[in-house]
Structure 1
Amino acid sequence: MSEKKHLTLAAAVLALATLLSRCAGLIRDVVIAAFFGAGYGADAFFMAFTLPNLLRRFFAEGSLTAAFVPTFSAVRQQQGEAQAHHVACQCWGLLLLVMALVTAVGILLAPLVVPLVAAGFGTVAGKLELTVRLTQLMFPYLFFVSLLALVTGILNVYGHYFVPALSPVMLNAAMILAALLFSSRMAVPIEALAWGVVVGGLLQLGMSLPLLRRYGVRLRPGWDWRNPAVVRITRLMLPGVVGVAIYQINVVVTRLLSSFLAEGSLSYLYYSQRLFEFPQGIFVVSIAQAVLPSLSRHAVADDRSALLDDLRYGLSLILLITLPAAAGLLLCAKPLFSLLFMQGAFDVRAVHQTALALMAYAPGLVFVGLSRVLVPVFYARQNTRTPVWISFWTLLVNAIAGLLLMRGYGHVGLALALTLSALFNALALGWVLRRQLGPLGLRPLFWLGVKASGAAAGMACVVFWLLQQGDWPAGQTWRNGLVLLGAVGSGGLAYLLLCRLLGVALVRDLGMLLRRRRPAGR
């Protein structure tokens, strides 16, 4: 199987699994919105989830995966399966110990740390105390998902993507059931969601762990932490942790600033970011995750030409997908929140405010996508330091822009600040990568972007006209549902047709690849 075909199929499998998990996540958010709305309890829960979720990115999806996958791939390729399994066991033992300590410390220090990141909550009676309590309840989630990240990295190296990407369905299901079945039975209803998070994390790990046996991997805690591969992973993780920390501090800064705004501002940002992350999780993360093992193999073989070829292919896929997705989010923001969320405690005002935030987030989808494909090139070359420095400057851009924009635009200004910082991050990564590797051969990518933008503009006209046929203040009606479905479907078909008319060869090639045919000239 050709490299491009393998990457496309891997990304497609990841996208399918992620689509299912994101749909479950959307249902979860609709349930949370209906039960808790955008106010006191919801603000406390979303802020409380910040710390364990932040540390999850530190120790799991970001730094651990970026350090482990290239090293594990290299050991497996150069030293064989037995040594690769040995390294996995040593990492498992080290991770068990470290995450148990981090979880315990997090629970103990929550009363000291939470007031720092939720300072604005102190002006509302009981809100800060509730946030501390919820944070302590949810910290064990960090332990389970960090172990899951290691399992996922091993499975990805062996070419298994589907089940790990599908595992968030268990988290979403646990939270939905907690809200539906237990929130009304608890003295503090929002605590049911916190318990759902912990149970969901345990179920996620339990869903993926047994799959390792299929590849002959049996994870038993090892204590040979002086193993060269383990030392290399640890050294690569340290700057990676800092880099991910800086990126996630962007989120913390945004939530800290939002805590000083009107009540509900943090919830508006959360709900809008969740819809923003829907296409990001399905397409952007899937492509980035699929391309990392391939880039790592080429880096180990010192094959610069193949590495850049995969980079260009990944960036092309990102542009082809995120340009229409960003336009769709911009146009469909109000219809989406009106149709999916406007019920129970989530009223017309909440629909309007969350839609405005999503419109500010939407253009950032393109820049986040480009960054998510550029960063793995640094990781594949075992260079985790450079993205750290770029992330640091990105943090400053976000903080300064947020402080300036929130004064006149409130929570919408904070969303726009994140979009501007994402643009800066993508440009900086591309500039530094060119200085390190030389010319990247991105001219065809520029013309692909021009053509895809033209197709997305034509698609936007179709979607805009169809959306005018809906009555969005009416909220959840069958007519509105059919109008939105028709607009999305017609927009997608219009985009593909316009891409073909404009000569976007990648659309044709993708169809051939997914039909298991080799495109001509490849």
Structure 2
Amino acid sequence: MNLFRALLTVSGFTLLSRVTGLARETLIARAFGASQFTDAFYVAFRIPNLLRRISAEGAFSQAFVPILAEFKNQQGHDATKALVDATSTVLAWALAILSLIGVVGASGVVFVVASGLAHDGQAYPLAVTMTRIMFPYIVFISLTSLASGVLNTYKNFSLPAFAPVLLNVAFIVAAVFVAPHMKTPVYALAWAVIVGGVLQFLVQLPGLKKIDMVPRIGWNPVRALAHRGVKRVLSKMVPAMFAVSVAQISLIINTNIASRIGPGAVSWINYADRLMEFPTALLGVALGTILLPSLSKAHVDADPHEYSSLLDWGLRVTFLLAAPSAIALFFFAEPLTATLFHYGKFDAHSVVMVGRALAAYGVGLIGLILIKILAPGFYAKQDIKTPVKIGVGVLVVTQLSNFVFVPIFAHAGLTLSVGLGACMNALLLFIGLRRRGIYMPSSGWLVFFVQMIGACLVLAGVMHWFAISFDWIGLHAQPLARIVLLAACLVLFAALYFGMLWLMGFKYAYFRRRVK
């Protein structure tokens, strides 16, 4: 398998997902602006999303994929299928019960996540109702995560990467065609979450059927729980859930703080999140997705050289592509925000506020992406405790940073703390891999950094000039011209960056890496 080709495949579908995601956010911004309605929706949507990241896509994938790879490589098809069936049974039953609890206790959950909304007689009841509607989403998206883990282990990256597009399509249909006909229009977005969750699971069934791995959910979760593979997955999930929970706890605290800053603050950060997640998904998530199965196989095969080489390749790709992305978020935050969201009820003030939060994310973007590459270096070896310990320390530092940055930068102080905390997290993960001899850097890093920094300095100067030379907010009356201008700028920036690297003798052939 060609790793770079696999990366292009995953990144291509992820790009499609992010483009449709931006379309969805643009349409939501146009219909609702940044108001108590969007605050209520994003708070409600964040709750099942937090649980999804903790119990499904985060902790579950980190624990499940390495063990699944071990079963596949050492015990054959039947044993692997039995593990998939037993795991899906336990997962479905546990999360169905959790969903029921969430529906019943929605009011208390919303208060914990965003207590600032409790004083808003309109936003708070809306958030509670939408939380009840969306809580079952965690069941469907968790089964989707299981299906994705299986397909990725079998080197099928396309369907899992495409699935999120369907959630965005559901949002777009709801915002454009359903919301105008509802008494409370924002409820259409909540129902879109459920529809999208179901579609994301269903679209992966053909791929699972092809390898005879369609999960069979049984009626006896106790029996499934006794499966030795499931026990191992659960034993790894507990510390993994704690590791992922650390980041999500920080997110909950930040949401709570944002809800107290004032109307619109939660939404400003959410819109900045959407743009920040564009490069983190295209690079970090995509690289982590393709590296974890290959790292797990190298671990099972007891091949430390291949293991280190995979990490080295992932780190170089990350720096190569994350550095210009970070510069773009920092210097081009306002042009990006204005072009994508400055329509309808989304006013110029919101553009400035979202731009500030996005620029602050740019400071720590490389750290946010590096975590996605470095953490699998521990997960593939079934070591989850080390990232947990690091994550706890970073959580404390991040929240202490809020006391310093929020009074100065308001909502942007929250995103700055997250970014700087991620950089600290990535540095500590890197030190851990080096001290244990898991990662041994290959030659050429000094030359690589000199070439990359030189290209980045030129890029930053040109990007800053374009950012201040045009009235991006004032082009609101000419949306097509603004879109064309932004597209032309991005093409120019990409050509400039990679052209500068080429002029300095950068060797692109290194990244065409193959694995078994």
Q: Where do 5+ consecutive residues of structure 1 fail to align?
A: none
Counterpart of 1:94 in structure 2 is 90
Q: Does the CA-based 8 Å contact 2:240-2:388 persist in structure 1?
A: yes
- Seen in structure 2, the aligned counterparts of structure 1 residues 442 and 420 have a Cα distance that, compared at 3 Å, is farther
Out of 213, 219, 231, the residue aligned to residue 215 of structure 2 is 219
Larger deviation, residues 266-275 vs 180-189: 180-189
**Corresponding residue for 2:74?**
78
CA contact (8 A) 2:398 2:421 kept: yes
- Partner of residue 181 from structure 1, selected from 153, 172, 177: 177
Paired residue type of 1:338: A
Quote how far apart the aligned CAs of 1:308 are.
0.7
Deviations, residues 35-85 of structure 1 (Å, cap 9, x unaligned): 111111011111111110000011211111111111011111111111111
Q: Which residue of 1 aligns with 2:418?
A: 418
Q: Is the deviation greater in 33-42 or in 480-489?
A: 480-489
Structure 2 residue corresponding to 1:44, chosen from 35, 40, 51: 40
Contact 1:460 1:491 (8 Å CA) reproduced: no
Change (3 A) 1:439 1:287: closer
Q: How does 1:340-489 map to 2 (within 5 A)?
A: 340-437=340-437, 440-441=440-441, 444-468=444-468, 470-476=470-476, 477=478, 478-489=480-491
User: SS at the partner of 1:189?
Assistant: coil
Q: Partners in 2 of 1:11 and 1:257 — Cα distance?
A: 37
What is the match of residue 509 of structure 1?
A: 510
1:499 counterpart residue number = 501
Opposite residue 125 of structure 2, the aligned amino acid is E
Kept after mapping to 2: 8 A contact 1:312/1:445: no
The answer to whether residue 341 in structure 2 is matched with residue 315 in structure 1 is no
SS in 2 for 1:472: coil
| CA deviation string 1:258-294 (max 9, x = no partner) | 0110211111100011001111111221011110011
Unmatched 5+ stretches in structure 2: none
Q: CA deviation at 1:122?
A: 2.0
Contact 2:115–2:259 (CA<8 Å) still a contact in 1? yes
| Structure-2 change in CA distance of 1:337 and 1:475 (3 Å) | farther
Contact 2:308/2:439, CA 8 A, preserved across alignment: no
Match of 1:475, SS? helix
Asked whether the equivalents of residues 311 and 439 of structure 2 are also in contact (C-alpha less than 8 Å), the reply is no
Residues 91, 438 of structure 1: alpha-carbon distance in 2 compared, 3 angstrom cutoff: closer
Q: CA deviation at 1:482?
A: 2.4
Q: Deviations over 1:367-425 (max 9, x none)?
A: 11111111001110001111111111111111111122111211011111111111111
Q: For 1:347-367, what per-residue CA distance to the aligned partner results, in whole angstroms no more than 9, with x for missing partners? A: 000001101110000122211
TM-score (norm 1): 0.94
Matched, 1:20 2:21: no
Cα contact 1:178–1:193 (8 A) shared by 2: yes
Residue aligning to 1:276: 276
CA spacing shift, 1:199–1:438, aligned 2, 3 Å:
closer
Contact 1:118 1:255 in 2 (8 A): yes
How far 1:450 moved relative to its partner? 3.5
The 1-side partners of 2:282 and 2:3 are apart by 15
Indicate conservation of the 8 Å contact 1:462/1:487, yes or no.
no
CA-atom RMSD, angstroms? 1.6
2-structure distance, mates of 1:153, 1:468? 45
Q: Does 1:156 align with 2:152?
A: yes
Distance 1:481 1:407 in 2: 35
User: What percentage of aligned pairs have identical amino acids?
Assistant: 34
Tell me by how many angstroms 1:442 deviates. Answer: 6.3
SS in 1 for 2:217: coil
SS of corresponding position for 1:363: helix
**How many Å separate the matches in 1 of 2:175 and 2:204?**
25
SS of structure 2 residue aligned to 1:259:
helix
CA distance in 1, matches of 2:326, 2:65: 30
Residues 1:147 and 2:143 are matched in the alignment: yes
Could you tell me which residue of structure 1 aligns to residue 206 of structure 2? Answer: 210
Answer whether contact 2:83 2:227 (CA < 8 A) is retained: yes
Task: Count residues with an aligned counterpart.
Answer: 508
CA contact (8 A) 1:175 1:193 kept: yes
